[in-house]
Structure 1
């Protein structure tokens, strides 16, 4: 079984996403920007895995997404709606919709 890795910005995002996932997923928090040290520690070891990226729909999220697109060109990018802005404030129902095509999710509806 392929190992899935989901990249989010912070621990609140991780908590929120874990509440809708119905399968074990390695969730990595970047805590904002990625230094060379963080890239080597967090990103390079997962280059060959199924990587998904779900970051906030704001300026810092866009900046991080651009950086991750360069470092992980094969990653699948998932998006929250700009209306919600941050992953941690995205309603569970919407998160479920975003994640269900790639992950097993709980039936929250």
Structure 2
């Protein structure tokens, strides 16, 4: 089954891509969930293995709630509240969190 990872921004994708050691489609929402993005990008992939990894700040928490309603079978990954943003999360923590569900490069 193909894997899809939903993140908020391009910096999140840049931080995660080098860690992944398998093909994963990474979708950036740019922090919001428009109806167009939902209908044209996200919902057509709901039958795939979908993962959500967003920031632990107010916009990220709001986005997670929206995605949870639209994609109830998605698997949620979390950064720590102290890191707040995925792009600022240390590599060791990203390896641990992503390594639960993805093949990752172990440095």
When the two structures are superposed, what TM-score results if normalisation uses the length of structure 2?
0.97
1:88 corresponds to? 87
How many residue pairs are counted as aligned between the two chains? Answer: 107
CA distance in 1, matches of 2:97, 2:76: 10
Q: Which SS does the other structure have where 1:61 is aligned? A: helix
Question: Is 1:66 aligned to residue 76 of structure 2?
Answer: no
1:101 corresponds to? 100
- Deviation for aligned residue 1:24: 1.2
CA distance in 2, matches of 1:78, 1:8: 10
- CA RMSD for the aligned pairs? 0.6
Moved over 3 A (4+): none
- Deviation for aligned residue 1:19: 1.7
Q: Which string of whole-angstrom CA distances, capped at 9 and with x for unpartnered residues, describes residues 43-95 of structure 1?
A: 11111000000000100000000000000000000000111110001011100
When the two structures are superposed, what TM-score results if normalisation uses the length of structure 1?
0.96
